[in-house]
Structure 1
């Protein structure tokens, strides 16, 4: 279990797969209160044929460190890991807050991005009425209740309750200071007006039932990217957990540049 020290944090990461392939490495970044195992299905699939890297963000999973106060701080951690691993250029893939981090890296270091993938993510944080209410009462309710309410909302209706409870327990294990600090960092995130600066192909994959970051917010961002492909899947915000195989297939076609084959999804 390799680790890298960056600004007082020990970042745990995985670096797997062959180094002698023709393609650039794939780098996966998880979201708020999650960890690198959000990408287990993709890691198993892609590491058989190319180099794949994923990390636990500071304060999450098996990484130490206080919560980042800005998305830019988390983006610097990702760049530090790329430098440490000698990765000059990659396909950067982020889920939710991880997508915010990925966009920030792409804007700060465009020369290092081959392609960009944003899974259930947006370019400007705008809270729905329900999410705004949760934020307003976050300091008045027990921490675990606050986390549980957010995680339950993240899954599409009908998702198995025991799996949701398991992920609630995992998210609640993230230190309160990390959870709330990163929440505030997301609240301040806004790169929507700069999306046009990203000149590489961008894939936006979103859950149709996502009420955390609704589809209409993502579509607003998609219009701003010069070279964007949109895929909408029958899932909620936790698409990597809800539809892992479908997400992997979508990513595989995008990464390899294969002609799209899109049963069960919409293209915009």
Structure 2
């Protein structure tokens, strides 16, 4: 796999599809403790007809390194990769934390974002008192149990247990310092009052059964977007793998030319 060396990190990425097509490149950004293979279904669908790029964020998957303390730091990594690949204008497709990264890029560099897709993502993490206490307490348990508890609850009821165990194992392989630092970064992320500045067309796709980032929080965010389309699917927080074909169909409709 190709890699890009950055400060204290090496990013692993895939860059597929035709370079000379008229379609704007898609850039897939995974979520917290995940990796670029969350997007396997979407990559296979879009690569024959347009340029598609995905990466493992620093410290995730096959990328190395740490040092990212904020969502802005991760956004800088994504832009550094795209500059390296000489990609100017693109469509970010971000899942969960990846959607936070996409919003950060859209706010800082609106000229580079053709349109945007946020999958199971929000503009501000907020908890009621009970859930806030539960989340705070969860960080006090052993690291692997903390990761397992968060990944387990990310899937809608009925998702195969053996597949959930595989995702838990992959997430637990993410270095502890990366997991905990970026967990804090997500909790600190807040652009809710600024989403009205994002004028690019935006697709908000969310799982109805998402308990990690509940659909009500997405709808609160959606009220601020000037040009947003909402799709709610019968899934939990892990839409790219729970309902890959349905998510791909929604993406295909949104990024394809329409009259």
2:59 maps to what in 1? 59
What residue in structure 1 maps to residue 198 of structure 2?
Answer: 198
Residues 87-120 of structure 1, C-alpha deviations (whole Å, 9 max, x = no match): 0100110000000000000000000000100000
Change (3 A) 1:27 1:130: farther
Unaligned 5+ segments in structure 2 are none
Name the TM-score, length of structure 2 as normaliser: 0.97
1:105-160 CA-partner distances (Å, limit 9, x unpaired)? 00000000001000000011113566534432234211111101000110001111
- With over 3 angstroms needed to count, the CA separation of the structure-2 counterparts of 1:139 and 1:218, relative to structure 1, is closer
Contact 2:93 2:117 in 1 (8 A): yes
Segments of structure 1 that go 5 or more residues without pairing to the other structure are 260-268
Q: Determine if contact 2:8/2:67 at 8 Å carries over to the other structure.
A: no
SS in 2 for 1:205: strand
Moved over 4 A (4+): 128-131
CA contact (8 A) 2:42 2:248 kept: yes
Secondary structure of 1:154's aligned partner: coil
Q: Which residue of 2 aligns with 1:221?
A: 221
2:219 aligned with 1:188 = no
CA distance in 1, matches of 2:139, 2:220: 31
Whether 2:90 is the aligned partner of 1:90: answer: yes
Partner of 2:44: 44
Using the alignment, how far apart are the partners of 2:169 and 2:215 within structure 1?
Answer: 27
Aligned residues: 259
User: Matched residues in 2 for 1:133 and 1:80: separation?
Assistant: 37
The reply to whether residue 25 of structure 1 matches residue 31 of structure 2 is no
1:118–1:203 Cα contact (<8 Å) kept: yes
RMSD (Å) for aligned C-alpha atoms: 1.3
Residue 239 of structure 1 corresponds to 239
CA distance in 1, matches of 2:251, 2:129: 32
Structure-2 residue corresponding to 1:110: 110
Identify if the C-alpha distance between structure 1 residues 128 and 175 changes in structure 2 by more than 3 Å, giving closer, same or farther. Answer: farther
**SS of 2:235's equivalent?**
coil
Taking the aligned partners of 1:2 and 1:224, their CA distance within structure 2 comes to 38
CA distance in 2, matches of 1:104, 1:144: 30
- Counterpart CA distance in 2 for 1:132 and 1:152 is 18
> Whole-Å Cα distance in 2 between the matches of residues 111 and 25 of structure 1?
14
